[in-house]
Chain A
Amino acid sequence: GRCYLYMKTIERAAFPRRLWERVLLSKNYEKALEEIDENLIYWPRFIRHKCKQRFTKITQYLIRIRKLTLKRQRKLVPLRRKIERRENRREEKALIAAQLENAIEKELLERLKQDTYGDIYNFPIHAFDKALQQQDAESESESDAEKEEDDDEDMDKREFVEADDSDLSDFEDMDKLETSSEEEQEEEEEVEKAASHAKSKGKTPLKGPARRKRPYIEIEYEEETEPATKTKAA
């Protein structure tokens, strides 16, 4: 930007259009100061001094503007209140509709079913469970006798099955209903209960301050006929 010097004389006070007289100052700082001096030659000293001070300040901020435009500038994008509110509300509703925890759990169970985890988790498969229950139903006395001769783990299993009613009902349900909403509801309740108590498993560092209310016994299924496939992650 170029700087101009504007002068006003009282004789021209009657003509507002011709009131101000304009002089273009040179770009050179010192020459401009001299031009101010020659134009305001008969004016009082104080006014001349103040004019030159003002001119100095103006040139300084013009220099700063030019420097800043070369650097990166922050672009201010105005927020629109209505839109912000609308988006926040939609986000809340989407969050409720999403049911994230259920979705994540479903996905993890699917991955478990599709065997992406390999042999880390040794859960018995559903069919095997059914077969086991059928076998028990057919030959109860024989299986009982066999089980009595078995290890402690099977003893634990029997105790476990008799003592805890809730788990017994669980197994019964797993038998009758393959995948049903009731089961999922039970699962959800159990998951909520369990999620509130932090669980600790032997091999992992996960610990929580509260232990489970029921005595926790690890179930390991061992079949007598086939060789036991015990695969645990090291």
Chain B
Amino acid sequence: APPKAIPKTIENQREYDETTVDPNDEEVAFDEATDEFAPYFNRQTIPKILITTSDRPRGRTVRFCEQLSTVIPNSHVYYRRGLALKRIIPQCIARDFTDLIVINEDRKIPNGLLLSHLPDGPTAHFRMSSVRLRKEIKRKGKEPTEHIPEVILNNFTTRLGHSVGRMFASLFPHDPQFIGRQVATFHNQRDYIFFRFHRYIFKSEKKVGIQELGPRFTLKLRSLQKGTFDSKFGEYEWIHKRREMDTSRRKFHL
């Protein structure tokens, strides 16, 4: 009888992306040492995050913002009453914020996320979908505590994925407090980034139990800009162009 064949999955058949990062790549390592996240990774800056929404947020978005601020330590929620983003940004830089998150809303549900690293850092625009608030998740856990969670970044292989992954990592402070036993996961699968927040317990050496607490959402990257948010004159590092990039089922960019 012929040997059992390995089933073909989309991940197996994925078209080889030339920008895949090799762990031993010197060029990439050098780039990462000198790009905008270097101060964070050298532990010179502590992340401080401002979360805001688009105009007139509805109840669901407001609650989601509050939950997000409990998940991410050292974050503040401010309401935007018609203020232009271009004017907010200099004020944020003056007040020492390192990151800005804007949650865009449409028809009472949040559907877009704009994440920009403040002192002149890259800006990423995501499409957010399938947002579950804490009470909609089936679990029996309590609220996330104030401990700094661990961060897991899965499957960010290409250069683009690498930079996006570093953006996410720079949201969280460096030294996770293991007493809290909380972990925030950004898992990339076929260009969709799933965010989950769990509490884990090691029952024995080979068994771990996780309990989901905290909101969950999925993101899909739409564009990545080099500087801070600027819709007209910004320099785009990557935009999702539907006609060119969505042609093949097996080609992914993150």
A residues with a Cβ closer than 8 A to B are: 72, 83, 87-88, 90-91, 93-95, 97-98, 100-101, 103-105, 107-109, 111-112, 117-118, 120-121, 123-126, 174, 183, 187, 190-191, 194-195, 198-199, 201, 204-206, 208-209, 233
Given A83-B242, A195-B211, A208-B140, are A104 and B192 also a contact pair (CB < 8 Å)?
no
For B194, B200, B205, which residue has the most chain A Cβ atoms within 10 angstroms? Answer: B205
Given contacts A98-B194, A104-B185, 13 further A-B contacts (CB under 8 A): A93-B190, A95-B194, A100-B194, A104-B152, A105-B210, A107-B185, A108-B200, A108-B208, A108-B210, A112-B208, A121-B202, A123-B202, A198-B211
The residue from B189, B202, B203 contacting A97, defined by CB atoms under 8 A apart: B189
Contacts of B183 in A (CB 8 A): 104, 108
Contacts of B11 in A (CB 8 A): 97
Band of interface residues on B: 35 or more
Smallest beta-carbon distance B41→chain A, Å: 17
Interface residues of B in 183-210 (CB under 8 A from A): 183, 185, 187, 189-192, 194, 196, 198-210
B129 interface residue per 8 A CB criterion: yes
Alpha-carbon distance between A118 and B185 when the two chains are bound, in angstroms: 21
Given A87-B220, A100-B185, A104-B196, are A109 and B208 also a contact pair (CB < 8 Å)?
yes
For B181, B196, B200, B201, which residue has the most chain A Cβ atoms within 10 angstroms? Answer: B201
Smallest beta-carbon distance A133→chain B, Å: 15
Does the CB pair B129–A199 fall under 8 Å? no
Does the CB pair B129–A91 fall under 8 Å? yes
Alpha-carbon distance between A225 and B20 when the two chains are bound, in angstroms: 51
Does the CB pair A183–B209 fall under 8 Å? no
Contacts of B141 in A (CB 8 A): 198, 206
The residue from B82, B154, B199, B242 contacting A107, defined by CB atoms under 8 A apart: B154
Contacts of B196 in A (CB 8 A): 100, 104
Given A105-B208, A199-B203, A209-B140, are A233 and B179 also a contact pair (CB < 8 Å)?
yes
Alpha-carbon distance between A112 and B142 when the two chains are bound, in angstroms: 24
Smallest beta-carbon distance A187→chain B, Å: 5
* 10 residue pairs, one from A and one from B, having the closest CB atoms: A98-B189, A123-B205, A94-B190, A94-B189, A94-B192, A194-B209, A108-B208, A105-B208, A107-B152, A198-B140
B34 interface residue per 8 A CB criterion: no
Does the CB pair A199–B190 fall under 8 Å? no
* Residue on A nearest B242 in the bound complex, by CB: A83
Does the CB pair B187–A98 fall under 8 Å? yes
B19 interface residue per 8 A CB criterion: no
Does the CB pair B207–A187 fall under 8 Å? yes
Interface residues of B in 124-163 (CB under 8 A from A): 127, 129-130, 140-142, 145, 150, 152, 154
The residue from A111, A117, A206, A209 contacting B199, defined by CB atoms under 8 A apart: A206
* Residue on B nearest A107 in the bound complex, by CB: B152
Alpha-carbon distance between A194 and B179 when the two chains are bound, in angstroms: 21
Contacts of B238 in A (CB 8 A): none
Contacts of A208 in B (CB 8 A): 140
Smallest beta-carbon distance B111→chain A, Å: 10
* Residue on B nearest A216 in the bound complex, by CB: B203
Alpha-carbon distance between A20 and B82 when the two chains are bound, in angstroms: 45
The residue from A94, A103, A190, A198 contacting B207, defined by CB atoms under 8 A apart: A190
